[in-house]
Structure formats: C-alpha cells, structure tokens
Amino acid sequence: MPELPEVETTVRGLQIKVLGRTFIDVWTDSPKTIKRPKKFNQFKHVIIGKKIRQIWRRGKNIIFSLSGGFSLLIHQKLTGHLLLGQWNFKKGKWLTSEEPLSEKVNSYIHLLFALDNGLMLALSDLRKFAKVELWKTKELDVAPDINKLGPEPFDKSLTFRRFCDIISCKQGKIKQILMDQKVIAGIGNIYSDEILFDAKIHPFRRVSQLTQRDIKRIYTAMRRILKKAILLRGESISDFRDTAGEKGYFDKARKVYRREGEPCPRCGTEIKRVKMGGRSAHYCPACQL
C-alpha cells in the first residue's frame, strides 16, 4: 500500500500538472470504487465542471479542493496509483503508447477523468480496493478517513515532547503503534520496518519497555527515513508508480523490508521476517534490541 512518501510523491506530481484544470468528463468500469455519492451518475454530474483549486495530502489520502465548495478524496489502498497522460479506449481497454505509462502495472485503469487541457487523470488499480469520495469541503473533517487520523510526522506541532507523550500512553508493540493511523498518520509496513531498523529498536518491543532515549531515536529516525523516502520518490517494490508511471528509488535505500535471509547492512546478521497481526516485520535480531 502506498504510504506517506508515495502519496506525497503523487501529490507533488499532481500539483505541477493539474492545478487550475477543470474536470470535463469521468469514466469508470468499477462504480463500486466511488463510495460517495453511491450512484456514479450523481458523482459524474457533480464533478464535471469543477476546477481543481488545491491538492494536498492527509495521511495516506489525496485530497483535491474543488470549486463550488467540494473536495475529492482518493485513497489508493493496496495497489492503486494515479497517473497523468493520454489514453485511447480500444477493445474495452484504455491504451497508451507513452512510456512508461504503457508498463503492465499501469494498465489496470478503472477510473479516468478528462481535463480541460486534454490531459487525463487515471486510477490504475489491479485489486480494485481504492476508493473515491466526493465531499462538501465544509464536511470533510467528518470523513472517516480524515477525522480519526493522528498528527502528521512533519507537523511543526509534533515536537519530540508531544511525540513522546503520544507514544508513551499507548499499549502494544512499537511497530503496530507506528502503523496505527490514529497515532501517527501515514506510516505503514514498509517505513515502520525501516524506521525501527534505523533506530535500532526491535519491532516486538512493547512501548512500556521503551526509554525516553529509545523514543527519541524513533522520533529522529521517523523524520529522517520519511524525508529520505520522499526525496527518492517512494518505494516501488510492489505496484506503486508516480504520476508519470515511473518507479520510485527508495528500493536502493531499503535496509530490511523484504530482505529476509540477506545479511544486515550494519552487522552482517541474517535479517529475519516474522508475522505480526496479519502483517510482517523485518528486522535484524542482533542489532535491533
């Protein structure tokens, strides 16, 4: 699933290309992707003619602030990613000759917006888990994907003292706490592994066992790793691609995620992978304590 760095990469790509543009049409072969309003025809009626005023990220959500007092919320979920380009509809599929948009991973287009400058905004989503919601902007704060989110990792208000207070009052394993969107917004399986490796903290350590110094290392690592991942345009080990259809480069900087059986880049010990609540944790058993 795209996490904060991937979503931020997407938002920055969209801001360059589509700010000020107007939706002139919308197509889907998967009406269930549209969660609000329930009927696609109603969604289409409202979205056409709306101008894109602002594009921003909250957690793993992409939000388009539109004219007329509306906001479009897109959560890419497991395999979704937004693309910008031009496609032609042939034999029941949207096709393009543009590279790298023509790569197979970019071909699962189930939602497509036409813009007033001839550009198209497409959602490619192999598993069709992504969701799209249209809200009145004044009501966006009550959207389930927004109103329960914790603070952003780079929010100025998230000082170390506040981070420490937030983490210290939780119960459970630190990796699960970091992935809880109600605690901190935007961190998932990939970056929780990388953050904890950088901080030299075992993912199974319970929060109650962490010292203030441990939490400080996690706080510092969180900001360092996420900043680096954004600069490298995210992780594309799975389905994520940026708006041009290109891979991110964080794969080259990945230390433990999906590197089970490989030597730890810090001490040479074999990296382990264990199950944790239906997810996986990757870590070095020697230098993460």
Task: Answer positive or negative: Cα dihedral of 76, 182, 177, 4.
Answer: positive
259 catalytic? Reply is no
160-283 placed in CATH 1.10.8.50: yes
pLDDT for position 278: 84
Torsion angles phi and psi, residue 259, rounded to 5: -115, 25
60 catalytic per annotation: yes
- The answer to whether 94 touches 112, Cβ cutoff 8 Å, is yes
Per-residue pLDDT at 133 exceeds 90: yes
**Please, what sign has the CA dihedral across residues 234, 236, 242, 247?**
positive
What are the phi and psi torsion angles at 284 (to 5°)? -95, 120
Candidates 3, 8, 133, 235; catalytic one: 3
Q: Which residues contact 268 (CB under 8 A, 6 or more apart)?
A: none
Active site residue 279: yes
Contacts of 87 (CB under 8 A, 6+ apart): 94, 95, 96, 109, 112, 120, 122
Phi first, then psi, for residue 287 (nearest 5°) are -110, 5
| Domain ranges for the chain | 4-147, 160-283
3-state secondary structure of 65: strand
Predicted local distance difference test score (pLDDT) of residue 148? 94
Q: Would you list the DSSP string of 189-200?
A: HHHHHHHHHHHT
Contacts of 102 (CB under 8 A, 6+ apart): 95, 96, 245
Judge whether residue 277 has pLDDT over 90: no
Mean predicted lDDT score pLDDT of the chain:
97
**Which residue(s) pair with 88 in the sheet?**
95
pLDDT digit string, tens, across residues 24-53: 999 999 999 999 999 999 999 999 999 999
Which of 17, 44, 258, 279 is catalytic? The answer is 279
Tokens describing residue 54 = 């602002």
Tens digit of each residue's pLDDT (9 = 90 or more) over 197-229 = 999 999 999 999 999 999 999 999 999 999 999
Query: Catalytic residue at 273?
Result: no
Backbone phi and psi for residue 131, each to the nearest 5 degrees, phi listed first? -135, 150
How many whole angstroms separate alpha carbon 178 and alpha carbon 7?
17
pLDDT of residue 1: 87
Indicate the angle between helix axes 189-199 and 212-231, nearest 10 degrees: 130
Q: Which of 57, 60, 233, 255 is catalytic?
A: 60
pTM over 0.85: yes
Residue written as tokens 């189930």? Answer: 110
Kindly state which CATH superfamily the domain 4-147 is placed in. Answer: MutM-like, N-terminal (3.20.190.10)
